[in-house]
Amino acid sequence: MSDTPASPELDRRPESKWSMVGRDPYAMPLEQIDLAHPGIWKENEFLPFLKRLREEAPVHYCAKSATGPYWSVMKYKDIMEVDTSPHIYSSEPTIGIVDAFEEFTVPSFISMDPPKHDEQRRVVQGVVAPSNLKNLEGLIRSRAAAILDDLPIGEEFDWVERVSIELTTQMLATLFDFPFEDRHKLTFWSDVATAIPGGGIVNSHEERWEAMQDCLATFTRLWNERVNAEPGNDLISMLSHGEATKTMPPMEYLGNILLLIVGGNDTTRNSITGGVLALNQFPEEYDKLRADHSLIPNMVSEIIRWQTPLAYMRRTAKVDTELNGQKIKKGDKVIMWYASGNQDDEVIENPERLIIDRPNARQHLSFGFGLHRCMGNRLAEMQLRIVWEEIMDRFENIEVVEEPERIYSSFVKGYSKMTVVLHPKAS
Amino acid sequence: MVKILFKDHTGSERSVEAAAGISVMQAAVSNGVPGIDADCGGSCSCATCHVYVDEAWVGKLTAMDANEDAMLGLSSDRRENSRLCCQITLSEELDGLMVTTPEFQF
């Protein structure tokens, strides 16, 4: 640990000596490869790094990084093994690569092991269960339609802001029964929750914490309203009336709220954007889609694989163990790089390509596997399916006119801006 | 060969014959039975091959392990006779097995 830089946040800037941006992945010593560096994700240079580690060091140890030493698990089958062995690989204390700062800790069930994880998750999973989603389909469709009908034709605009963010934010507000006119606060809190201080959204941990306090205050007010009313079908009502959650401490409430905001926001948002980008990069797939809209459900799974909106999940070894020949010690950080497993050609043929009619498209790692599998997976798929059905009814082409801007994060894999021009269908 | 009868939530039925030794999930997928997603490919880690086992057959199956129990806990539509069918291995004793697929998989 003495080798780690004294000021980790400072050293994470792209221009620091730790940066891998612009470097040839095959020209540097294996042990220097640090996938956690956000720079290579923002600059879209991560793929060759992932490929080299899959081939040469599928369970790779990075001894020196701004966030301390960690293992990287690169292959599909090894990721599967870690994800489905919670008795060996714990989700506590956190699923992010940075160890939580004690005073800024917000616990939630994504970073809990059984049995507490199972109890808390059970309370809220009903709201995103497919049987409940069926009732939301009409509402999602009408909101998606309204957003798309409002877009300018034949002129440049930012798809991220006008469509991806707007649609997912409206959905979140619906799930929380959050005041609709204040819904943009949800987007802000979601961004802040995963932001690296200095990365453009907040400048310091204190500033980040201030926003989180505002979030907590707002949701505490909503909790108090809902707990004194009849139980409803929104997430806050469910939490405030649920046996396993109604006495949770404020920080745990905040943690679970943030989990649901981030889980339901960044991920779907970036998959909506990523799908448009992928179809522009693979125009023959766009043609396939134009010819057959019934490919949309399969395409949605393929987009979620191709995008992999969360690049990794972290576990911490509970015991000394061995993985694909490497000895992992109790307490070691273990990073499952879903973004790499989803590119593993031992399981996925031509993984770098988007193939919208790919067989077994559902077998991607983006939702994780095992007890922590994405709770909102069906909601995400439904949102994406609906938005693509509505898009294909309206537009002949969504033309991406310049390289999108990507997010400075090795965790949230997504886009802050993507300029497009819409071309309507000939009527 | 072992005969399995799949019913869906609307009651429509489909009979499939499969070899002993494979799982009910594999029998369903290889015969194109709808309503089984099996996203994880049969490693009991996605809970998308959920079925309700006909009461007459529940006692004839090997007991579920803790992992299957935990994974089934992810489904909001779990019932007493719920199983993940990737964990049911076909044998001659299960000839005639009847299962119902839920309306939705997790």
Q: Where are the domains of chain A?
A: 8-424
Computed on alpha carbons and rounded to an integer, the radius of gyration of chain A in Å comes to 21
Q: Which residues of A touch B44 (CB under 8 A)?
A: 84
Q: Is the pLDDT of residue A12 over 60?
A: no
The answer as to CATH 3.20.20.70 being correct for domain A8-424 is no
pLDDT in tens, A315-325: 999 999 999 99
Sheet holding A419-424, edge to edge: A157-158, A419-424, A395-400
pLDDT in tens, B14-50: 999 999 999 999 999 999 999 999 999 999 999 999 9
Task: Say if pTM beats, i.e. exceeds, 0.80.
Answer: yes
Query: Residue A369: which of B37, B46, B105 has the nearest Cβ?
Result: B46
Look-up of token digits 């019932």: B79
**Structure tokens that stand for A338 in this block:** 């879903």
Whole-number pLDDT of residue A17: 52
pLDDT in tens, A51-70: 999 999 999 999 998 889 99
Whole-number pLDDT of residue A260: 84
Q: Which residues of A touch B68 (CB under 8 A)?
A: none
Q: Is the pLDDT of residue A338 over 60?
A: yes
Whole-number pLDDT of residue B59: 94
Q: Which residues of B touch A80 (CB under 8 A)?
A: 40, 43, 45
Per CATH, the number for B2-100 is 3.10.20.30
Whole-number pLDDT of residue A104: 55
Phi and psi at A387, nearest 5°, equal: -65, -35
Pairwise CB contact (< 8 Å): B104 & A362: no
Whole-number pLDDT of residue A15: 44
Q: Which residues of A touch B37 (CB under 8 A)?
A: 362
Which range among A97-101, A179-183, B86-90 shows the weakest confidence by mean pLDDT?
A97-101
Q: Which of A121, A133, A342, A373 best tests the B interface by mutation, with the highest count of B CBs <10 A?
A: A373
**Structure tokens that stand for B88 in this block:** 């049911």
Q: Where are the domains of chain B?
A: 2-100
Span A264-284, average pLDDT: 95
Whether the CB of B70 is below 8 Å from some CB of chain A: the reply is yes
Span A343-370, average pLDDT: 97
A-B C-beta contacts closer than 8 Å: 56
ipTM metric? 0.90
pLDDT band for A369, please (50, 70, 90 cuts): very high
- Interface of A to B at Cβ within 8 Å reads 80, 83-84, 114, 118, 121-122, 125-126, 129-132, 360, 362-363, 367, 369-371, 373, 375, 377-378
Torsion angle, CA of A354/A358/A360/A365, rounded to 10 degrees?
0
Whether the CB of B101 is below 8 Å from some CB of chain A: the reply is no
Q: Is the pLDDT of residue B83 over 80?
A: yes
Whole-number pLDDT of residue A263: 83
Min Cα–Cα distance to chain B from A375, Å: 8
Q: Which residues of A touch B105 (CB under 8 A)?
A: 130
pLDDT band for A130, please (50, 70, 90 cuts): confident
Percent of chain A beyond pLDDT 70?
A: 94
Tell me the residues of chain B between 30 and 49 that have a Cβ less than 8 Å away from chain A.
37, 39-41, 43-47
pLDDT band for A134, please (50, 70, 90 cuts): confident
SS3 labels along chain A: CCCCCCCHHHHCCCCCCCCCCCCCHHHCCHHHCCCCCHHHHHCCCHHHHHHHHHHHCCEEEECCCCCCCEEEECCHHHHHHHHCCCCCEECCCCCCCCCCCHHHCCCCHHHCCCCHHHHHHHHHHHHHCHHHHHHHHHHHHHHHHHHHHCCCCCCCEEHHHHHHHHHHHHHHHHHHCCCHHHCHHHHHHHHHHCCCCCCCCCCCHHHHHHHHHHHHHHHHHHHHHHHCCCCCCCHHHHHHHCCCCCCCCHHHHHHHHHHHHHHCCHHHHHHHHHHHHHHHHCHHHHHHHHHCHHHHHHHHHHHHHHHCCECEEEEEECCCEEECCEEECCCCEEEEEHHHHCCCCCCCCCCCCCCCCCCCHHHCCCCCCCCCCCCCHHHHHHHHHHHHHHHHHHEEEEEECCCCEECCCCCECCEEECEEEEEECCC
Span A36-61, average pLDDT: 96
Q: Which residues of A touch B71 (CB under 8 A)?
A: 370-371
> Please, what's the largest Cα pairwise distance for chain B?
34
pLDDT in tens, A145-191: 999 999 999 999 999 999 999 999 998 898 889 999 999 999 899 88
Distance CA A101, CA A105 (A): 6
- Better pLDDT: A248 or A331: A331
Query: Residue A80: which of B37, B43, B73 has the nearest Cβ?
Result: B43
Q: What is the mean pLDDT of chain B?
A: 95
- Better pLDDT: A119 or A357: A357
